[in-house]
Amino acid sequence: MTAVLMAMIAALLIPMVEAFQDEDIWQRMLAFASIATKTSVMILVVSVLRDDWMIGMVGVLILSVGNAALMLLAHIIRRLSEVMEEY
Amino acid sequence: MAGYLNLLLRLAIWFLLTADLSWANILIGVTVAILLPRGVSNPGTLKDWLRTLGEVVVAIPQAYAEAFEIMLRPHRYEVVTVDRAKPRRSPSLIFLDIFLITFTPKTIVQRYREQGWYEVHRIQRRPTQ
Amino acid sequence: MINILSYVCIVIGLVFWFWGTWPLLGSRSVLFKLHSLSVADTLGSMAIVVGLLLRIPHEWPLLVLGLISLAIWNTVLGYVLAYCSTQEDS
């Protein structure tokens, strides 16, 4: 299980590098969406690893609230770029 | 009829969330599920619902099959097609249709047009002429 | 037996994660990356959660809820990102 967690951390590094190096906002949004999902699944794995179900509860809560903030942010960015084009 | 499905969905979420089948909990869940407002004007027929829900169940193994397919054979080309939506769909059924198309890895709905068309973005192995 | 099955699920999920996240570093279009991310983040994560579910079946209600919300939220986020990142051409 620890090896699984290590592999997950390695996988998490890929979108982080992408978020740092790419200037385009949509590519960054993709990277952030990926980070959000991966961390919440990692929380679940940690809870199984440590056999502490309170941590798992937090992970399930994060999963069920979901990426609502990212969706709102995507709409705001879209509106902003439309407004910027008009002027 | 689709009102019952709505109720059933709420109850399922409630019992999964609480994981408690005591009488008090069932009573609270049923009361809250009935009292919550529902703004459905055109719920669609039960048959459409059942068929779409069946398609959701089928979509899960299909999504995994497509995932393995694009892993083993690279799909390098992108294309945007316009698909026709099924007629007389209520908003929640349209949502489920969009969910079904986007859930499978080869296709993503890009835009839904009011006249009943989807713009679907898909990846392919060969370029289209 | 169940232990092995759960490891198989988790390893498949990890393979999906790496395969689907790797294209992020390339220079393809946003939508192309979205296709591979839906392999990684939706299907891969679902496989991992199923693997966990096999290990601790007594917590099934919460894990099933996590599984359902994972599928729905990730798919809808994919649609929203695809919709927002392409400009309307009237």
For chain C, the domains span: 2-83
Give the max Cα distance, chain B.
Answer: 64
Residue B103 sits in the same domain as residue B50: yes
- Residue B90 in this model has a pLDDT that exceeds 90: no
> Residue C22: its pLDDT value, please?
87
Pairwise pLDDT comparison (B127 vs B24), residue with the higher score: B24
Phi-psi region of B111 (alpha: psi -120 to 50; beta: other; left: phi over 0): beta
Examine the pLDDT at C90 and tell me if it is beyond 70.
no
Are residues B122 and B68 part of one domain? yes
Q: What is the pLDDT of residues B33-44, one digit of tens each?
A: 888 877 655 556
Q: Which domain holds residue A69?
A: 2-86
Residues B96 and B119 grouped into a single domain:
yes
CB contacts, 8 Å: A2 with chain C: none
Whether residue B51 lies within 8 A of chain C, CB to CB, comes out as: no
Return the percentage of chain A with pLDDT > 70, whole number. Answer: 100
Confidence band of B8 (pLDDT split at 50, 70, 90)? confident
A26 neighbourhood in chain C, CB within 8 Å: 30, 81, 84-85
Can you give the pLDDT at residue A69? Answer: 87
Looking up residue A21, the CATH number of its domain turns out to be: 1.10.287
Question: What is the pLDDT averaged over residues B62-91?
Answer: 84
CA atoms within a 13 Å half-sphere pointing along the CA-CB vector of B8: 5
Q: Domain tally for chain B?
A: 2
Domain check: are B27 and B60 in the same one? Answer: no
Run of H or E residues at A36: helix A25-50
Same domain, B31 and B66: no
Residues B32 and B63 in one domain: no
Three-state SS string over B5-22 comes to: HHHHHHHHHHHHHHCCCC
Both B25 and B73 in one domain: the answer is no
Write out pLDDT tens, residues A32-65.
999 999 999 999 999 988 888 888 888 888 888 8
**B32 plus B47 within the same structural domain:** no
The answer to whether the CB atoms of C75 and B13 lie below 8 A apart is no
C residues 26-65 near A, CB within 8 Å?
A: 30, 33-34, 37, 40-41, 45, 48-49, 52, 55-56, 59, 62-63, 65
Instruction: Check whether residue B8 and residue B19 sit in a common domain.
Output: yes
As for how many domains chain A has, the answer is 1
Mean pLDDT (chain B, rounded): 82
- Shared domain check, B35 and B2: yes
Give the ipTM.
Answer: 0.85
- The mean pLDDT of B107-119, rounded to a whole number, is 83
Domain extent for B22: 1-40
